[in-house]
Amino acid sequence: MSRILLVEDHDRLARLMCKGLEAAGIAAGIAADAAGRIDSAWAAIQQMPYDALILDRGLPDGDGLVLLQRLRKAGLGMPCLVLTARDALHDRVQGLEAGADDYLPKPFAMDEMVARVRALLRRPVAFQQLDPSHGDLTLRPAAGVLCRGDQSVTLAPAELHIMELLLHRPKEVVRRSALEAAAWGLSEAVTPNALDVALHRLRRKLLAIGSCQRIVNVRGLGYALREDVAAE
């Protein structure tokens, strides 16, 4: 499933766009999170990997291009669609030079926005690892399976997003809040034990395919992948 971050401070428009993207996800596998400020969008990007960014320029804490430039300087190449009421040629050029992949002036038709996002998701990112791996594990997000050699197991969507984040950060301790956001998005209410249940299922599935990797609880910090040498 592709996860998109929408950075738009107009609440009603953001809700409509998220609904439009998620409705398209019935066929295209799209989930959308929304942020209304540059700082909250940057915080969200630190918590989870996004496949694409939809970015408004006129945000309460500055020009959205500031966020885009920050992402590009950090080496993050997620494709970006810039939205703006500014339709002058120099505004479009400015956005593209800041690192935007496409530009859509407001107002726009929802169908066109969805089509442009789908087109961005089809573009390859040169350094993006499509099937993240670590140790004896390889995750195949498109198929929704976790593999160890010729052994594989199907993952539920939340399990898939949790495992994807852990594999993208194999040497890090990932905070509980980051795993919850990856699994269920930023806006969805999560029951207190939902993550514990998902992690329990993932641990059982790791054992089922004979992996040496374990999801360990680093007390007070979060969770990490660690190799169980005794399991080799």
Q: What is the pLDDT of residues 133-165, one digit of tens each?
A: 899 999 988 788 999 999 999 999 889 989 988
What tokens were used for 176? Answer: 């509980």
Whole-model pTM: value is 0.62
- For residue 83 the two structure tokens come to 């939205």
| Model pLDDT for residues 98-117, shown as the tens digit of each residue | 888 898 888 899 999 999 99
CA 59 to chain centre: 21
125 — pLDDT class (breaks 50, 70, 90): low
Residue 80 contacts residue 35 (beta carbons within 8 Å): no
Contact between 117 and 102 under an 8 Å Cβ cutoff? The reply is: no
pLDDT tens digits along 22-67: 887 755 567 788 999 999 999 888 877 788 999 999 999 999 999 9
Strands 30-35 and 2-7: parallel
Residue 194's pLDDT is what? Answer: 92
Alpha-helical (H) ranges within the chain are 11-28, 38-47, 64-73, 89-97, 110-122, 157-168, 176-184, 194-208
The first and second tokens of residue 193, run together, are: 């034990």
Q: What is the residue whose two structure tokens read 């052994």?
A: 151
- pLDDT tens per residue, range 82-101: 988 876 778 778 888 888 88
Q: For 31-45, b where at least 16 C-beta lie within 10 A, e where not — what string?
A: bbbbbbbbeebbebb
Structure tokens given for 10: 């107009």
- Residue in 159, 137, 133 with CA at minimum distance from that of residue 148: 137
Q: How many whole angstroms separate alpha carbon 150 and alpha carbon 121?
A: 29
DSSP state of 231: G
